[in-house]
């Protein structure tokens, strides 16, 4: 092969190798962020370990004295094999550890730490080890490519060309992954596609090398790697469903979709209840969860509002809050804003969702806007105001969600209030770390929020928390002699004034929280541990403590951990 053509083929290999390396790095960060939230934290962790591993690989490449072509072909092939399975391996590790640790009965000492916390720690360590192995292998590539190119031209030209095409490859893949590959193929299929890219680079270097001995061995090696990556690509949908069923406790996944923004799963349990998960974080469960959550979220504000004609819903793309709002005949217009059209499509197309939300999206009073809620609210300044606003976002477990709980967002939200506007914010758990942060942040922009909860829950039932903003501070007195005028279950036998605690929360647990800002974001860890869902009911604190004393020893320990000394989970 002539030197000119040879150089071009090697440059193409450099480009393809760079595409693969950066692809693996972005994939790893995306997988960990999707599974654990806190995207800035985990992307930073991945970048740090990956770059350090590249440095180790680059240093080790100096140990290669001969057979540079053979070694580079081997490196590219191994990366195609190991890197191609990156997403599948990470998801498998996650499913195994969280399924095993989450159901295992630990000794008292380990139980105190919590199975979920241990599973998360082990998963992160195992993931970083696997990613570091890929990084070390990838670190060999560029130094060896430069050495091969320097045999064909002057060293300074070889270095310049190698770095130029390496960075071009990085640009191409970093832009195309979120825009095209993740949305079209998902994380697991994309991983296998990148593995095939690495294999093509290996084959090109093999052709350039002119290797004559062991050609059959290399051909077999290439064929095996191609078969593995191709099979992985073809069967990745079934793999995803299998792994997610493990993640969700072997429950049936009745709908799965990956959008540009998140992974959506609807899961059916043995008792026929349907749960909706966004990036592994449960948003609702049909039955009592749905009824109690959405009735408590919507009806207090609707019941005390002076006007209900123009309502704004931010988030809530499942249509369940919308279902409750539309029960009021004097509601003339509801604008629902959600960034992800996939949620709206699922909620308005799937039969079981249409049954749950009572065909809410087909009501003529409803207008759906596909937009970022922050941008939408900013665009309404001076143009529109609303009588009622319901903010129903997922918990702030990463930077993109945290901004929707920031002082800047609440300042924009205040600009679309009229003098009688009432707003309700989903706040994860009653007086939990997230709600404390919301209350502190609201106060920083002059909004006086009050924490409340569903009216009838025992200590160990699901813990819901909401924050309501009134023209004048809401409290139990605000809801005296007020009843819900539309059909509901939650408030039939309960007074609206019962949604506020009449006793103070334990002092250590209700300590202050920092203001959440775009410039200083507060990001919370996923709170999937069942023990984070405990609830302090509106009863004298002595009754609560007496109930704790009669509970099993393990439960007492967990209560002490979560409610008496557990710090805010911000990172």
Between 562 and 151, residue with greater pLDDT: 151
CA 564 → CA 346, 461, 513, distances in Å? 41, 18, 16
The rounded mean pLDDT for the chain is 83
* Residue 333 to residue 311: CA distance in whole angstroms: 6
CATH code 3.40.50.150 region(s) in the chain: 284-564
pLDDT at residue 539, rounded to an integer: 35
pLDDT over threshold 60, residue 563: no
pLDDT over threshold 60, residue 543: no
Collapsing DSSP states into helix, strand and coil, what is residue 349? helix
Task: Report residue 238's pLDDT band, with 50, 70 and 90 as the boundaries.
Answer: confident
pLDDT over threshold 80, residue 106: no
pLDDT at residue 407, rounded to an integer: 94
Q: What fold, for 3-243?
A: Growth Hormone; Chain: A; (1.20.1250)
The per-residue pLDDT for range 261-286, each reduced to its tens digit, is 788 889 988 888 999 988 777 889 99
pLDDT at residue 565, rounded to an integer: 32
Contacts of 410 (CB under 8 A, 6+ apart): 441, 442, 445, 447
Q: What is the DSSP string of 501-566?
A: -SSPPPTTTT---PPP-SSS---B-----GGGG----SS-HHHHHHHHHTS-HHHHHHHIIIIISP
The per-residue pLDDT for range 462-508, each reduced to its tens digit, is 578 999 999 888 888 888 889 999 999 888 877 888 888 654 444 43
pLDDT at residue 458, rounded to an integer: 44
Cα 352 to chain centroid, rounded: 24
pLDDT at residue 323, rounded to an integer: 97
Q: Where does residue 377 fall: left (phi above 0), alpha (psi -120 to 50 degrees), or beta otherwise?
A: alpha
Task: Please give the model's pTM, rounded to 2 decimal places.
Answer: 0.77
CATH code 1.20.1250 region(s) in the chain: 3-243
pLDDT at residue 1, rounded to an integer: 55
The per-residue pLDDT for range 136-146, each reduced to its tens digit, is 999 999 999 99
Token reading at 102: 């989450």
Is the separation of the CB atoms in 438 and 479 below 8 Å? no
The per-residue pLDDT for range 495-505, each reduced to its tens digit, is 888 888 654 44
pLDDT over threshold 80, residue 571: no
pLDDT at residue 538, rounded to an integer: 33
pLDDT at residue 460, rounded to an integer: 41
The per-residue pLDDT for range 391-415, each reduced to its tens digit, is 999 888 777 888 999 999 999 999 9
Cα 173 to chain centroid, rounded: 22
Catalytic residues: 392
For residues 514-519, give the mean pLDDT. Answer: 87
pLDDT over threshold 90, residue 226: yes
Kindly report which listed range (82-91, 228-237, 428-437, 548-557) carries the lowest average pLDDT score: 548-557
Task: Report residue 105's pLDDT band, with 50, 70 and 90 as the boundaries.
Answer: very low
Contacts of 285 (CB under 8 A, 6+ apart): 273, 274, 275, 276
pLDDT at residue 498, rounded to an integer: 82
CA atoms within 13 A of residue 207's CA, in its CB half-sphere: 15
Token reading at 467: 């924050």
pLDDT at residue 546, rounded to an integer: 53
Task: Report residue 101's pLDDT band, with 50, 70 and 90 as the boundaries.
Answer: low
pLDDT at residue 507, rounded to an integer: 41
pLDDT at residue 497, rounded to an integer: 85
Candidate CATH numbers 2.60.40.10, 1.10.10.10, 3.40.50.150, 3.40.1350.10; the one for domain 284-564: 3.40.50.150
Phi, psi of 489 (to 5 degrees): -110, -40
DSSP H helices in 235-350: 236-247, 288-304, 320-325, 341-349
Kindly report which listed range (91-105, 328-342, 528-542) carries the lowest average pLDDT score: 528-542
Between 403 and 214, residue with greater pLDDT: 403
* Residue 506 to residue 322: CA distance in whole angstroms: 35
pLDDT at residue 178, rounded to an integer: 85
For residues 207-235, give the mean pLDDT. Answer: 88
The per-residue pLDDT for range 356-386, each reduced to its tens digit, is 999 999 999 999 999 999 999 999 988 999 9
How buried is residue 203: exposed, middle or buried, by Cβ count under 10 Å (0-12/13-18/19+)?
Answer: buried
Cα separation of the two ends of the chain: 56
How buried is residue 172: exposed, middle or buried, by Cβ count under 10 Å (0-12/13-18/19+)?
Answer: middle
């Amino acid at each position: 092969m002539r030197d000119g053509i040879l150089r071009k083929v090697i440059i193409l290999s450099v480009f393809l190798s760079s595409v693969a390396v950066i692809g693996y790095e972005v994939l790893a960060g995306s997988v960990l962020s999707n599974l654990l939230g806190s995207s800035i934290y985990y992307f930073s962790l991945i970048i740090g370990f990956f770059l350090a591993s590249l440095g180790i690989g680059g240093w080790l490449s100096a140990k290669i004295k001969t057979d540079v072509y053979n070694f580079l072909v081997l490196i590219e092939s191994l990366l195609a094999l190991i890197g191609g399975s990156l997403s599948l391996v990470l998801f498998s590790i996650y499913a195994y550890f969280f399924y095993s640790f989450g159901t295992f009965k630990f000794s008292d000492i380990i139980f105190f730490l919590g199975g979920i916390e241990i599973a998360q720690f082990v998963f992160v360590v195992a993931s970083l080890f696997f990613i570091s192995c890929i990084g070390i292998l990838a670190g060999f590539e560029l130094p060896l490519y430069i050495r091969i190119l320097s045999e064909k031209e002057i060293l300074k030209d070889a270095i310049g060309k190698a770095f130029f095409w390496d960075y071009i490859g990085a640009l191409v893949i970093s832009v195309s992954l979120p825009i095209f590959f993740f949305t079209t193929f998902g994380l697991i299929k994309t991983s296998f596609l990148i593995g095939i890219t690495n294999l093509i680079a290996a084959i090109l270097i093999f052709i350039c090398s002119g290797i004559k001995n062991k050609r059959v061995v290399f051909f077999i090696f290439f064929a095996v790697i191609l078969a593995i990556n191709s099979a992985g690509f073809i069967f990745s949908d079934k793999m995803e469903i299998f792994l997610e069923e493990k993640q969700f406790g072997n429950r049936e996944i009745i709908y799965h979709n990956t959008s540009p923004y998140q992974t959506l799963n609807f899961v059916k349990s043995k008792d026929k209840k349907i749960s909706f998960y966004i990036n592994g974080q449960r948003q609702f469960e049909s039955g009592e969860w749905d009824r109690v959550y959405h009735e408590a979220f919507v009806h207090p504000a609707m019941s005390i509002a002076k006007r209900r004609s123009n309502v704004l819903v931010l988030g809530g793309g499942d249509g369940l809050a919308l279902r409750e709002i539309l029960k009021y005949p004097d509601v003339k217009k509801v604008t629902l804003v959600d960034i992800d059209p996939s949620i709206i499509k699922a909620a308005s197309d799937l039969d079981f969702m249409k049954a749950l939300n009572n065909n809410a999206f087909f009501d003529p009073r409803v207008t759906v806007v596909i937009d970022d809620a922050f941008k939408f609210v900013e665009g309404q300044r001076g143009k529109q105001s609303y009588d009622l606003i319901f903010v129903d976002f997922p918990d702030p477990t990463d930077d993109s969600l945290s901004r929707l709980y920031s002082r800047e967002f609440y300042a924009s939200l205040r600009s679309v209030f009229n003098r009688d506007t009432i707003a309700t914010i989903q706040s994860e758990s009653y007086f939990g770390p997230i709600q404390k942060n919301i209350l502190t942040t609201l106060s920083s922009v002059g909004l006086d929020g009050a924490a409340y909860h569903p009216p009838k829950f025992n200590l160990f039932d699901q813990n819901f928390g909401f924050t309501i903003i009134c023209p004048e501070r809401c409290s139990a007195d605000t809801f005296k002699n007020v009843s819900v005028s539309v059909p509901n279950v939650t408030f039939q036998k309960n007074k609206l004034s019962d949604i506020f605690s009449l006793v103070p929360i334990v002092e250590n647990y209700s300590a202050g929280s920092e203001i959440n800002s775009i410039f200083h974001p507060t990001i919370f860890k996923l709170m999937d541990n069942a023990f984070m869902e405990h609830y302090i009911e509106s009863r004298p604190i002595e009754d609560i403590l007496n109930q704790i004393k009669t509970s099993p020893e393990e439960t007492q320990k967990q209560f002490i951990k979560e409610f008496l000394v557990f710090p805010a989970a911000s990172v």
